[in-house]
């Protein structure tokens, strides 16, 4: 039986240019409403034909975030989960491809009962249907819907039409927020509002009048420009929210609330705030702690998505980087990240010694052969020189390969993904995936989503989690080959986490008496790290790195 709760919907759109923080704005809006005691959920609409984000190049699109149910989605879904501290599912994510795919499926199954199926209104109807399903599933008071892309683009027109139709159907339950950039040309030195005015008028042409404008700029907005934007965009001055660049994205909800955004939204949507004080003490405490730590710990993220030490795209490993921050703050340190390309280690063996300067080394997830030999050299150096090492997914697999080669003595050991002719394929394809790969059907074919694992007593993993059974999110096709487990463990590497049936190796580590911290996880622990609840494995890694840092002082 459906709840009679009056649902409220807040659409977040982007004006002027992309990349100005719609996802963080949507997450922050949700977090301040949740701090008022409301139940909040969030959806992301991506205007791509791709059915999901799994086949997109991370250097172009950013990280592929994996939900508990295995859906591969946009990185903004990670922001929603981190800011709202909720678990979302595939009903909270849609793409153009996914919407069209469902409409076509329903048409083929005669679910439209013979009617003429058209782009308008049937595609917008499907978008609205999905929004309502996600809202009902969460029993949400507020649903935040971020429409990807920028106002005026052809790709998101149908999603804007869906928003307009929902507003027409439920005028008191829908509000619009536009995140718009205000440039300050260097030769002029004056903040310009005209691009935002044009964006607002373009949104008007889609039949939508925005209620709130979040004004993104390098500096705070002054009252004169607030008044000007309000006048020409047809909103009240108090509905123009200043959103200057900040030191940390976690400052943004507090900044929004300083401009009374939650009160304004509830007023627009006729929601009573009586007996709903703002409760954000834990969030404020987290921000205070993050700013009070001064002592830096140096962590090298060794990967292939770097170029001469510079990050190609910071969003490639955004969940990893945020998880490192949370755990650094927890152990009283400030994180200083160093993005280290593995390619130079392949060309110049002497450069591997540069890793000695770091307090910890992390190898993140990835695919393919590019830069792998360099990462293997970095893992070997970390193991032999007792530098804390943390491997995630591919980083764990490569740690097993390095150990098999250089300790077990299996020369030429490799993963079948890179070298299918290796004499010792210690990492091999999952059997049930071979057929799908042979058919060149790669989308959504990996081991995806949450799976349980059991932990061995007396291990770092068991000590970190403080429980015997865990559930973590996966995204991979290859596993540790069971044929080599006995040899590898006999040589000292411990598989401290396994699937409940003992067939799949989930965590590999060296005992503390051999190494201060040498551990890899087949899963992606970064997907469960939260600002207010850092992930235990990241925290153990940061503790070891902190100890190394303190000893070096």
Q: Higher pLDDT residue, 477 or 537?
A: 537
Beta strands in 420-468 (DSSP E): 425-429, 447-455
Banded model confidence at residue 436, pLDDT cuts 50, 70, 90: low
**Three-class SS state of 338:** strand
Please give the average per-residue pLDDT across 511-518, as a whole number: 97
Q: Higher pLDDT residue, 187 or 439?
A: 187
The 212-217 sheet, strands edge to edge: 93-95, 40-46, 142-147, 8-15, 174-181, 212-217, 240-244
The two structure tokens encoding residue 136: 């009902």
Separation between Cα atoms, residue 158 and residue 190, nearest integer Å: 36
> What is the predicted pLDDT for the residue at 313?
52
pLDDT digits (tens, 9 = 90+) for 126-171: 999 999 999 999 999 999 999 999 999 999 999 999 999 999 999 9
The catalytic position among 524, 535, 540, 549 is 524
Q: Is 60 a residue whose pLDDT tops 90?
A: no
Query: Residue 359: how many CB atoms within 10 A of its CB?
Result: 23
Q: Which helix (H) or strand (E) holds 203?
A: helix 194-205
pLDDT digits (tens, 9 = 90+) for 207-224: 999 999 999 999 999 999
The catalytic position among 526, 535, 540, 549 is 526
**Three-class SS state of 21:** coil
> What is the predicted pLDDT for the residue at 445?
65
The catalytic position among 73, 239, 266, 393 is 393
> What is the predicted pLDDT for the residue at 429?
86
**Three-class SS state of 428:** strand
Which pTM value belongs to this model? Answer: 0.93
* Average pLDDT, rounded, for the chain: 93
> What is the predicted pLDDT for the residue at 368?
76
pLDDT digits (tens, 9 = 90+) for 395-409: 999 999 999 999 999
pLDDT digits (tens, 9 = 90+) for 305-360: 676 444 445 678 899 999 999 999 999 999 999 999 898 998 888 899 999 999 99
Indicate if 393 belongs to the active site: yes
Residues with Cβ within 8 Å of residue 369, at least 6 apart in sequence? 417, 418, 419
Banded model confidence at residue 1, pLDDT cuts 50, 70, 90: very low
> What is the predicted pLDDT for the residue at 55?
82
Q: Are 328 and 335 in contact (CB under 8 A)?
A: yes
> What is the predicted pLDDT for the residue at 2?
47
Please give the average per-residue pLDDT across 276-280, as a whole number: 94
Residues with Cβ within 8 Å of residue 16, at least 6 apart in sequence? 150, 180, 181, 182, 183, 195, 196, 198, 199
> What is the predicted pLDDT for the residue at 353?
95
Which residue in the block uniquely carries the two structure tokens 């540069």?
354
Q: Which domains, and CATH codes, for the chain?
A: 10-55+87-285 (3.40.50.300), 293-552 (3.40.50.880)
Number of H helices, E strands in the chain: 19, 23
The two structure tokens encoding residue 166: 């929902």
Please give the average per-residue pLDDT across 178-198, as a whole number: 93
Q: Is 5 a residue whose pLDDT tops 90?
A: no
C-alpha distances in Å from residue 406, one per residue of 138, 151, 386, 400, 401: 50, 55, 15, 10, 9
Tell me the percentage of the chain whose pLDDT exceeds 90: 85
Please give the average per-residue pLDDT across 521-540, as a whole number: 98
Query: Residue 153: how many CB atoms within 10 A of its CB?
Result: 14
> What is the predicted pLDDT for the residue at 440?
53
Tell me the percentage of the chain whose pLDDT exceeds 70: 95
Indicate if 526 belongs to the active site: yes
Please give the average per-residue pLDDT across 525-546, as a whole number: 98
> What is the predicted pLDDT for the residue at 485?
97
The one-character DSSP state at 182 is -
> What is the predicted pLDDT for the residue at 434?
64
Banded model confidence at residue 200, pLDDT cuts 50, 70, 90: very high
Please give the average per-residue pLDDT across 66-72, as a whole number: 96
Please give the average per-residue pLDDT across 452-479, as a whole number: 97
Range with the lowest mean pLDDT among 326-340, 444-458, 477-491?
444-458
Range with the lowest mean pLDDT among 415-429, 436-450, 524-538?
436-450
The two structure tokens encoding residue 278: 């703002």
> What is the predicted pLDDT for the residue at 193?
95
Separation between Cα atoms, residue 391 and residue 397, nearest integer Å: 8
Torsion, CA 457, CA 459, CA 462, CA 466, rounded to 10: 90
Name the region of 51 (left: φ>0; alpha: ψ -120 to 50; beta: rest): alpha
Banded model confidence at residue 432, pLDDT cuts 50, 70, 90: low
pLDDT digits (tens, 9 = 90+) for 375-387: 999 999 999 999 9
Beta strands in 135-280 (DSSP E): 142-147, 174-181, 212-217, 240-244
The Cα angle at residue 380 between residues 375 and 382, in degrees rounded to 5 = 95
**Strand 72-73 relative to strand 65-66: parallel, antiparallel, unpaired?**
antiparallel
Beta strands in 69-192 (DSSP E): 72-73, 93-95, 142-147, 174-181
> What is the predicted pLDDT for the residue at 98?
97
User: What's phi and psi for 361, nearest 5 deg?
Assistant: -125, 130
Range with the lowest mean pLDDT among 9-23, 242-256, 441-455?
441-455
């Amino acid at each position: 039986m459906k709840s009679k709760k009056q649902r409220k919907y807040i659409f977040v759109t982007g004006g002027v240019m992309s990349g100005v923080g719609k996802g963080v704005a949507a997450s922050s809006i949700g977090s301040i409403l949740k701090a008022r005691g409301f139940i909040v959920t969030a959806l992301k609409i991506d205007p791509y034909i791709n059915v999901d984000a799994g086949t997109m190049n991370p250097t172009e699109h950013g990280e592929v975030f994996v939900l508990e149910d295995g859906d591969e989605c946009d990185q903004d879904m990670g922001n929603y989960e981190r800011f709202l501290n909720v678990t979302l599912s595939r009903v909270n994510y849609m793409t153009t491809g996914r919407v069209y795919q469902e409409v076509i499926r329903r048409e083929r199954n005669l679910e439209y009962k013979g009617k003429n199926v058209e782009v308008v209104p049937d595609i917008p109807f499907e978008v609205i249907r999905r929004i309502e399903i996600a809202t009902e599933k969460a029993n949400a008071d507020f649903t935040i819907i971020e429409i990807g892309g920028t106002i005026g683009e052809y790709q998101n027109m149908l999603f804007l039409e869906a928003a307009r139709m929902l507003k027409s159907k439920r005028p008191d339950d829908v509000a619009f927020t536009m995140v718009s950039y205000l440039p300050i040309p260097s030769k002029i030195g004056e903040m310009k509002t005209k691009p935002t005015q044009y964006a607002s008028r373009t949104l008007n042409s889609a039949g939508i009048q925005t209620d709130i404008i979040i004004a993104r700029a390098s500096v705070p907005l002054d009252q004169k420009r607030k008044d000007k934007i309000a006048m020409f965009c047809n909103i009240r001055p108090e509905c123009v929210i200043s959103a200057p660049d900040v030191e940390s994205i976690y400052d943004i909800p507090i900044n929004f609330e300083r401009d009374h955004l939650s009160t304004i939204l509830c007023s627009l949507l006729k929601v009573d705030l009586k007996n709903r004080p703002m409760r954000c003490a834990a969030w404020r405490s987290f921000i205070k702690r993050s700013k009070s730590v001064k002592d830096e710990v140096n962590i090298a993220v060794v990967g292939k998505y770097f170029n001469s030490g510079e990050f190609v795209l910071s969003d490639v490993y955004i969940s990893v980087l945020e998880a490192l921050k949370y755990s650094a703050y927890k152990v009283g340190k400030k994180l200083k990240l160093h993005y280290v390309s593995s390619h130079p280690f392949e060309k110049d063996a002497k450069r591997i010694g540069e890793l000695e300067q770091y307090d910890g080394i992390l190898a993140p997830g990835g695919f393919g052969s590019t830069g792998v030999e360099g990462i293997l050299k970095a893992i070997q150096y970390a193991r032999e020189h007792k530098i804390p090492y943390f491997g995630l997914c591919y980083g764990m697999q490569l740690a097993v390969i390095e150990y098999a080669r250089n300790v077990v003595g299996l020369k030429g050991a490799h993963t079948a993904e890179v070298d299918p002719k290796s004499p010792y394929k210690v990492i091999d394809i999952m059997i049930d995936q071979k057929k799908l790969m042979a058919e060149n059907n790669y989308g959504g074919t990996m081991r995806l989503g949450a799976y349980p694992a059991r932990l061995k007593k007396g291990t770092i993993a068991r000590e970190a989690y403080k429980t015997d059974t865990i559930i973590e999110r996966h995204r991979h096709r290859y596993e540790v080959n069971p044929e080599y487990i006995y040899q590898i463990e006999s040589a000292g590497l411990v598989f401290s986490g396994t699937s409940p049936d003992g067939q799949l190796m989930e965590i590999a580590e060296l005992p503390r008496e051999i190494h201060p911290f040498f551990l890899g996880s087949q899963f992606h622990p970064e997907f469960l790290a939260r600002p207010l609840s850092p992930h235990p494995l990241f925290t153990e890694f940061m503790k070891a790195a902190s100890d190394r840092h303190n000893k070096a002082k």
